[in-house]
Chain A
Amino acid sequence: AQTVTQSQPEMSVQEAETVTLSCTYDTSENNYYLFWYKQPPSRQMILVIRQEAYKQQNATENRFSVNFQKAAKSFSLKISDSQLGDTAMYFCAFMKQRSNYKLTFGKGTLLTVNP
């Protein structure tokens, strides 16, 4: 079974600064996907970024980028130029290919962006 670990329950950052959220995972699979989801107080889970394990290039989406280290089973999220609207719970998630495609989530990191 896959496990996803987010070792930082809470983090805070000043507006306009950069913050990195950590995620490690454990799997014996070679083909899989990794995701970061954001859940603001509205409760809506929003996809932030997606990484295919077979791709060496790190995924980026505007101010969001990942550092994917497959050998180390690490998948951190970097948020640049943090904005107040980035305040949310962030979940790292794993999906095995050719299975039931369910997401296995970490426990989450609560990020607070301070003005």
Chain B
Amino acid sequence: GAGVSQSPSNKVTEKGKDVELRCDPISGHTALYWYRQSLGQGLEFLIYFQGNSAPDKSGLPSDRFSAERTGGSVSTLTIQRTQQEDSAVYLCASSSERDGPQFFGPGTRLTVL
């Protein structure tokens, strides 16, 4: 079956612009995660969605970051007023159960000029 997909694959933007990153999880997976991978910080958890429950936003680095998940499926990560330190690969993962293995998408490489 289809894996986790993310779009765009690469995004170049100017400092101060807003960006939206999209994640399509594996069909039927109730859990969805966003992570950020950067050279300096490694892999960091950003946000977690489980079914219709309120998301766990404890990993979001600032209020410029937000995410939503519509209909329990597709998720969008939005970064407002992008800064150069936001440059990273943003990875999405989904899981069929809370403590199950997470399956990752190919990521979106964000470059803020």
Residue positions of A touching B, CB distance < 8 A: 33, 35, 37, 42-47, 50, 91, 95, 97, 100-108
Flag if A100 contacts B43 (CB, 8 Å). no
Number of interface residues of B (CB under 8 A): 25
Answer yes or no: B42 CB below 8 A from chain A CBs: yes
Assembly CA distance A108 to B38 (angstroms)? 12
Flag if A101 contacts B35 (CB, 8 Å). no
Assembly CA distance A67 to B43 (angstroms)? 24
Assembly CA distance A115 to B31 (angstroms)? 40
Flag if B101 contacts A44 (CB, 8 Å). no
Partner of B89, one of A35, A43, A95, A104: A43
Given contacts A42-B106, A45-B104, A95-B99, contact A103 B35 (CB under 8 A): yes
Flag if B93 contacts A108 (CB, 8 Å). no
Flag if B99 contacts A97 (CB, 8 Å). yes
Residues of B within 8 A of A100 (CB): 48, 56, 58
Residues of A within 8 A of B101 (CB): 35, 47, 50
Known pairs A100-B48, A101-B98, A103-B93; list 14 more (Cβ under 8 Å): A37-B104, A42-B106, A43-B89, A43-B107, A45-B104, A47-B102, A95-B99, A97-B99, A101-B31, A101-B50, A101-B99, A102-B59, A103-B43, A107-B42
Given contacts A43-B107, A44-B104, contact A101 B43 (CB under 8 A): no
Within 8 A of A (CB), among B80-113: 89, 91, 93, 95, 98-99, 101-107, 109
Answer yes or no: B33 CB below 8 A from chain A CBs: yes
Q: Mark B11-43, 1 if CB is under 8 A from A, else 0.
A: 000000000000000000001010100000011
